[in-house]
Each structure stands twice: as C-alpha cells, then as structure tokens.
Structure 1
C-alpha cells in the first residue's frame, strides 16, 4: 500500500494520534448517552457522557457520577472497552488486527506506531506492537485471575469474574475506574494483601512503559538494559521509595487514615498510597482525610506521573530524571550531562525542559480558570483536581461531581491534554511544512541566569 508522506497531502503522525483519540471519545460519548447505558433508563446527557468517555479513553478515572451505581452493565462494559482502547491506543489495536489478518504494514503505519510508542526509529515497531498486545493480555488475565479469588467468594461467580476483569484492566491501564459503588473505590480492601498487591503490581507494570517491559523481558539483566529503561527503573524506584517513607511519616498518627491500624495494615495501605498517585487513581484511603503534607506530596507525584510509552500521564519519570541530572551537572560545573556512562544530548534536555514548562503553564492556566468558575470550592481542592486531570490520575478530594458545566468541560480538555502529552499536542498543532535545517549559526551571546 503506497501512502504519500507529503505533509501537504497527509496528516502528520501526531495529528493522526490526536484524531484517533478524539474519534474514540466521540463514539464513547454517543454510546454512553444512550438510555440503555444508565440504570434508571434516562440519558446521561452530553456533558456527563463526554466527561466519562474522555476520562475512560484518557485512562484518568475522574467521574461526575458514580460508576458502580449510575451506569448499567452495558454502560460499564462500554467504559471498560474505552479504557482498554485508551490504554493500548487505537493505532496499536488496528495494527494488531492487521497483523492477525496477515496484512502488510506499510511505511506510514510504521511511522505512526513509532510516534505512538515514542520510539527513536521505525525499526522493530511491529515486533514491539505484538509484544505490547500479548503482554497486556497476559498481565490483565493474570490480574483478573488473582482478583477473582477474592471477588468470586464475595459476589458469586458471574459478578466476581466481571469485577475481577474490570478492575484488572483498569489497574493495568492506570485508569482508576472502579465499580464498587458509592465512591468507595478500594477502601473496603485497605488491609487485604491480595487485592492491594495485585493492583499495585498491575499499576507499576502498566506505568513503566511498554518499551521497558519488552526490554526487561528480552534481557532480564539490568546492565544490558537500554539507557531509557535504566533511567525509568531508577527514577521509578526512587519515587516509590521516597513516597512510601514520607507517606508513612505523614500518616502514621492520623486517626482518619492509618493511625488506628495494626502495623501490617499500615504498611499495606501506605504501599498502595505510594503507588496510586502515579496516574493510577484507585484509593484505599480517603483522600480528603489525608494530612496536608500528604496531599501536597500526592499532587507532586501526580504532576510527575508515569513513564513514556505507557498508559500514564504527567510530565513522565524520564523528564524529571533528566532535570535532576542537569541540576547535578550544573552543581558539579561540567558541560556534559551523563547517565550510566553515556552522554545525554542537548536536544533531549531541551525537550525535557519544554515538556515541564508547557505542562506547568497549562496546569497553571487551567487552575486559574477553575478558581474563577468554581467559586464555591477550596483552593487546594481545585489544585488537586487540576493536577489529577493533567496527570490522568483520577484521585479527587470529592469535588468532581460538584463542578459546574464549564468546569467539567475544562477538566475534560485537561484530561485529553494530559493523556496525549504536551509535545504531541504541540506537534499536531504546528505548521505542517517541512522541518528546515539550521543553515546559519549566530555568534554565541551571554545572558545572566539565577
């Protein structure tokens, strides 16, 4: 199949990805607006359906109506499918179907997959697509199997299996949607090691990024991993460790969260709390009852998010890692930024700076607008909600259902922006002309910084 790569005749890869997400969100909105999608048989309305569809496709988990009690089985199943499509990406699913049908994958589709997975080249992207689909099915099936040992005895075979599948897919895709009802999320399982650690495992695995998972599967030895995988794993480990220690200190004596729990339940609850702000959205503790330092730490973790090429949002672990390495290089007075005996290019550092700046600017603008439209809500509640939407986390201090129509639409836009990432949005909106090489270099100038 010959497809023109002329930018004047074809959409750019970033634009195709944006439009694919918009298409799935639109279809999901129409389906959720159907009366059969709700328990009471009434249409959920355009705004509520759009918000829920966007939250599911962008694997966020923020909800304006209770997922477990408001939506019918049909509606919940639509949400589940939207989560799966949003987590894997429409391009991944369509390419997988084409592979299964024995169709040849053309150059343009390979370029699209390269963009979708944030790969450096098109070499091996079809193989990566296969690994992504297979690994997703394996992890979600394993998670559902393990969760069924808890849910089937409590809910019966039919409901137990459905609940296990729903929450396994939601956890691996870092969506945070639950169908427990009444906004409970997983608070009823705060001391349950099986549910906690299965969900934790799925969240971490889904948030590492598909390229890292494939790299781990292939090499199984840290020293042989790619530079990207090494940085992701190190930053992820540091963030999880630091978050665990700080949350444990901040919440140890808080009677509204873990203060009155036995030590094992405390450790289990804090382990979950250290993981879930990394774009997962599930909670076993009441977010509104956290201490102020814990809320601030949660907001920071939500802004950072997961890793590139995963289902996670935020500015990503590698971006934060590169900024830390840059600061370290400046403190040491060296020009080259190094990691694992490799030099990081200036272009990569500039891209990381751009991601942080654009992300912070978008969060600030949306937060400012929400403080104007949502006058009855507290400062920290709005900031928490804004960062949760941008990081596609889904945690809330309980104000999502109280948002005005304008507020819901702004959060919808922010979830979409957070899922696709600032660079994808910028590239999609940029001029489609050919990228011109810099032919002239001006003399270097000096600017005082700091």
Structure 2
C-alpha cells in the first residue's frame, strides 16, 4: 500500500492525467512479490522516481522484508533479539539453526550485494560501450536490471524487455546468471561457501545436492526442449541465423523459472512450448530463494516418490538417503495447494475475460502464481476484476510458501491422537 501510494504521486508518473489505483497497486504488488507483470509500460509511464520506487520494492521483496529489517537492526544495535532471530529464520529457511541466523543473515546481504554490483557493472559497461548510453544512464540501467535479475522480478526499462539484446551474450548471460544465482536459495549458496567445492558433493547436504542437480537438469533440459520446439518458428528463434538461436533458447530456459525477462516474443510461442514453459514456471527455483513455484526440491522429491513406487521399493530415496514420510506429505501438500490456486484463478479469469483463449489465460495465471512475470501480452488488456485477481495470485504465490514454511517451523505442538483407525486399502488408479 505504501508503494502504491508513492507510485500514485505526480512525481512518479510521466503523464499528467494520473494513474488509476488498481494499476498502481498492481505494479506495487508485482514488484513486492518479485513477479514483473505490468499493466502500464514501465519505461514510458514511470519517471526516475517511480522506477526507483519499483527498484526498492524489488529489493525488499526479494531479500525479504523481515530479513532486511533484521539486518538494519543488526547494523544499529550489533545484536539480534530472539524475536528477530525467529522471524528471520522463518523467512530465510526453517532448516537454519538459531545460532547460525546472524552469520547467514550477514552472508545473505553480502552475497546479494556482490552479485548485484558485479552484474550491474558488466551491464553498465556493455550499455555504455556498445549501445551509446551515457555514464549515468548506463549505470542506472545496469543497476535496475541487476536488481531485477537477482531478485527474479522481471521488470525492465525497455518496452520489449530483453528482446533487443537476444543475441548479445554480454547482456543476456549476466541477466541469466543473476537469475540462476538468485534462484538457488541462500541455504545452498551459504553451504557451498562453508563447504568448499574442493571437498566434492559428498560434503553437501541432500537439499544442496537436489537443488543443484535439479537446477542443472531443468536449465539444460528446458534449453534443449525449447530449442527443438521453436527451431523453425519465425516468430521466435527461427528469425535468427542458426548459430544465433542457441543463446536466446538458453536465456529463455534460464529466466522461465526465475527472473521473468524475455528475449523473444512470448506471444509467438507454439502451444507445446507454452505448455513446457508453464511446467518450468510451476516448478520454479530453489527453496528460500527469490524465485517462486513449488520449488525444485519439492518437484524432484515427488519424482523420487513416483520412481520408488514404479520400482516397487518400500522407501523413496535420493542420493543414498531415505526420504521421510512427513517430508513427502509436505511436498505433496505444497504442490496440490499451488495447483488448486492456479485452477481456481484460471476458472475465474475465464469468466472475467471470455474473449481471451484458454492458453494465454493459463500462462498468465501460472506466471503470476509462480512469480515469474512473463506474459503472452494480455496483461495490458485485462479488465479490473482480472487485475484484482492477478494481484491476489501474485501475493499468494509469494507469501504462501513463506507462511507455510513458517507454520511448520514455528509449530511446537503436533496434534496426536491416542488411537489409530483400522487400515483399509482403497483402489488406486
């Protein structure tokens, strides 16, 4: 609400007529939830002040409001109270012990700043040297897009997002790398920093192994699948010479689960590519990361359960470790709740937008729920009921997993029955 109020100020807008409240709130919710969907064109509608408000919202939403507040309190008082530790622990990840919260908090802020500054420097230098941007404009554009990339927000200061840089590796690769690093999650990066890569995977936790392996499979698998499906499409990769099609495909695979930039016209994708894209967005990034979705570990944990059932094994396992039943139930709950949110939103939007086909509506809703921010181009044409619906979906997609993780971590009392019902096996399948 504060961000929406700031964006409603005349100093934040380039046009004197003002901006409707639903559009300022939509932009604020999209930035805070690090989604990137927009109902007004960012570079033409907002002034430098408005863009700065959006940048601040992306940073707060990505790093975490409680994490940011706790870090500021740490800077002032040089210590954290128990309440701050508990809330920061819940926001970063419940698996982090209270004793490590202080060091993890410092690492999270430091790692964020290092990646964002490095990405901004590369982008600014490239924009200044190759595209004729002045030093001030290049620095601002580099900083804005580095924050948007690492925090997986997807806002861009260009009306066509990153389409103008589709074949430029000095722009595409830093943006993709920033999104991937932000999508790994602080627990993974923190563990890798403590347990050096030289010790090998044996020293890593199961969560880190699953996140890294899952990210690699989805990144390169999505790259290959999209490249094959869109190779000859003149509206996407087919418009470039064959040797220039690999980079846009890699970029699209990287940002689909994370930052939400696009270097091709998403509205020109084939239907099968849209389906693959929705699957990648639904899975999302790593736990306790700036990415959305059900998370990589949740998806691959469920895949391990299916594989164990197919092989007739008693227990589901991964990397020679047995997966406990409560974790499987949590993963199944997260996936089904996300799916229910998406289905309900799609059904409602179909009623609100009868003139829009099902595929673009599904893509829009999945993008909002997974806080990705890609769109086939229908966001500008949505009516007010659909805009309010997308605001709720974006907010739920970002806050829902945090609330769920917090409830699991902070609950001290488990409901225990003094009896168990008789076991009966229903028919399955």
| TM-score interval, smaller chain | over 0.9
**1:87 and 2:51 matched:** no
Of 113, 138, 158, 1:160 maps to 138
Matched position secondary structure for 2:322: strand
Number of the residue aligned with 1:11 = none
TM-score, normalised to structure 1's length?
Answer: 0.90
* Closer/same/farther in 2, CA of residues 426 and 375 from structure 1, 3 Å limit: farther
Taking structure 2 as the reference length, the TM-score comes to 0.95
Match of 2:235 among 223, 247, 256: 256
Identify the match of residue 393 of structure 1 among 364, 372, 375: 372
Shifted more, 264-273 versus 185-194: the winner is: 264-273
Aligned residue for 1:443? Answer: 422
CA distance in 1, matches of 2:94, 2:384: 38
Is 1:37 paired with 2:12?
Answer: yes
Q: Distance in 2 between matches of 1:104 and 1:255?
A: 58
Counterpart CA distance in 2 for 1:369 and 1:104 is: 48
**Aligned partner of 1:273 among 252, 264, 269:** 252
Distance 2:255 2:400 in 1: 20
Which deviations, in whole Å up to 9, do the C-alpha atoms of 1:394-424 show, x marking residues without a partner?
A: 1001010111111000000000111123572
Matches within 5 A, 1:337-348: 337-348=316-327
State the distance in 2 between where 1:409 and 1:49 align.
12
TM-superposed CA distance for 1:438, in Å, is 3.9
Alpha-carbon separation, structure 2, partners of 1:425 and 1:45: 33
Aligned equivalents of 1:318, 1:349: Cα separation in 2: 11
**2:154 is matched with which residue?**
176
What is residue 419 of structure 1 aligned with on the other side? 398
The answer (yes or no) to whether the contact 2:66–2:87 under 8 Å persists in 1 is yes
Q: Which structure 2 segments of 5+ residues have no match?
A: none
1:247 aligns to 2:226 (yes or no): yes
Q: Secondary structure at the match of 2:35?
A: coil
CA distance in structure 2 between the partners assigned to 1:165 and 1:223 by the alignment: 37
Contact 1:58 1:419 in 2 (8 A): yes
User: Offset at 1:435?
Assistant: 4.1
Note the C-alpha offset of 1:176: 0.5
Unpaired runs of 5+ residues, structure 1, are 1-25
Which residue is 1:110 aligned to? 85
- 2:291 corresponds to 1:316: no
- Please give the secondary structure, in 1, of the residue aligned with 2:416: coil
Distance between the aligned counterparts of 2:16 and 2:105, measured in 1? 39
SS of residue paired to 1:155: coil
Partners in 2 of 1:247 and 1:90 — Cα distance? 35
1:174-213 superposed matches below 5 A: 174-180=152-158, 183-213=159-189
Question: Does the CA-based 8 Å contact 1:307-1:316 persist in structure 2?
Answer: yes
Count how many residue pairs are aligned between Structure 1 and Structure 2: 422
Match of 1:235 in 2: 214
The aligned residue for residue 13 of structure 1 is none
Task: Report if the CA contact (8 A) 2:167-2:244 is conserved.
Answer: yes
Task: Please identify, of 107-116 and 234-243, the stretch whose mean Cα deviation from structure 2 is larger.
Answer: 107-116
CA distance in structure 1 between the aligned counterparts of 2:215 and 2:222, rounded to whole angstroms: 10
Map residues 283-362 of structure 1 onto 2, 5 A cutoff. 283-362=262-341
Distance 2:284 2:180 in 1: 11
Q: Corresponding residue for 2:349?
A: 370
Q: Is the 8 A contact 2:90 2:402 kept in 1?
A: no
Distance in 1 between the 2:387 and 2:405 partners?
23
